[in-house]
């Protein structure tokens, strides 16, 4: 796979690498990244199938993880921060390439199989139903998705992926593959991990209080793979914990980094 697209911020301090969730892109972390760049070298990654990174024919967690590993070096291990799908990639990176990961932050995700992908399919269907040839302004796309995706915050998040291409519009992410492979995105490759040991580095497991992606039920799986994890619950936050409560998330991250 060709190299992933990244944005680098800051020029001194330890390295912190941010991995976004499904339908996201590296710039989703831009505000937090800029704030951390006063003391750290920050890398914002567009994961495969998203943003300006390559778009393979299938989604495979271990392939995505290997592509992220190519950005890192054992001579300069990083704190890796991943949200949702990016949280699974971050966990897999720590397990399969522990020499690259100094510390791990998993934001509202667990090392388990999630079968509830229906909501994400709704988003894919809404985006694919838009006739981009007939859209002249972003506001028209927003209006066209309003019935299927009534939450304006979620619509705004999805529409960050709509880009002008000359006189027309296009989706920057690989919607056909992401929509087809939603079950694989909800998966956890347990069989492929049987040859690996748990990651023994420090881990901060961040939960949104109002989210159900991190529950007591999943704590045993977390303990199995990350015996040194510490759970932090952010009150009033749902699944998009870092964007819903950015100041609280940043404070917890700075404390974990030792700032």
Statement to judge: residues 18 and 62 lie in one domain: yes
Statement to judge: residues 131 and 89 lie in one domain: no
- Number of domains into which the chain is organized: 2
Is residue 20 included in any domain, yes or no? Answer: yes
Statement to judge: residues 227 and 108 lie in one domain: yes
Q: Using one digit for the tens of pLDDT, what is the confidence trace for 36-59?
A: 999 999 999 999 999 999 999 999
Statement to judge: residues 110 and 122 lie in one domain: no
Statement to judge: residues 196 and 153 lie in one domain: no
Q: Which domain holds residue 56?
A: 6-114+187-257
Q: Using one digit for the tens of pLDDT, what is the confidence trace for 150-203?
A: 999 899 999 999 998 888 899 999 999 999 999 999 999 999 999 999 999 999
Instruction: Give me the half-sphere count of Cα atoms (radius 13 Å) on the Cβ side of residue 257.
Output: 23
Statement to judge: residues 157 and 174 lie in one domain: yes
Q: Using one digit for the tens of pLDDT, what is the confidence trace for 84-135?
A: 999 999 999 999 999 999 999 999 999 999 987 768 899 999 999 999 999 9
Statement to judge: residues 16 and 94 lie in one domain: yes
- Range 83-97 burial, b when 16+ CB lie within 10 A, else e: bbbbbbbbbbbbbbb
Statement to judge: residues 128 and 193 lie in one domain: no
Give the CA radius of gyration of the chain.
18
Statement to judge: residues 105 and 136 lie in one domain: no
Statement to judge: residues 217 and 97 lie in one domain: yes
């Amino acid at each position: 796979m060709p190299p992933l697209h990244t944005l680098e911020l800051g020029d001194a301090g330890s390295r912190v690498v941010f991995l976004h969730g499904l339908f996201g892109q590296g710039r989703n972390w831009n505000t937090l990244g800029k704030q951390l760049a006063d003391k750290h070298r920050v890398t914002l990654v567009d994961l495969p199938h998203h943003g300006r990174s390559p778009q393979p024919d299938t989604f495979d967690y271990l392939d995505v993880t290997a592509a992220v590993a190519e950005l890192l070096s054992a001579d300069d291990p990083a704190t890796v921060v991943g949200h949702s799908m990016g949280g699974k990639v971050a966990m897999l990176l720590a397990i399969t390439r522990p020499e690259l990961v100094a510390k791990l932050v998993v934001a509202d995700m667990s090392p388990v199989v999630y079968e509830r992908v229906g909501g994400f399919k709704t988003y894919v269907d809404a985006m694919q139903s838009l006739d981009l040839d007939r859209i002249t302004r972003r506001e028209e796309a927003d209006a066209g998705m309003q019935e299927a995706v009534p939450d304006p915050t979620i619509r705004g998040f999805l529409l960050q992926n709509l880009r002008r291409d000359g006189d027309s519009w296009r989706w920057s992410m690989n919607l056909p593959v992401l929509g087809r492979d939603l079950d694989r995105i909800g998966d956890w490759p347990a069989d492929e991990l049987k040859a690996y040991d748990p990651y023994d580095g420090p881990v901060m497991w961040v939960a949104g209080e109002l989210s159900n992606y991190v529950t007591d039920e999943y704590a045993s799986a977390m303990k199995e793979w990350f015996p040194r994890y510490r759970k932090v619950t952010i009150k009033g936050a749902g699944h998009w914990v870092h964007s819903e409560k950015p100041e609280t998330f940043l404070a917890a991250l700075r404390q974990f980094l030792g700032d």
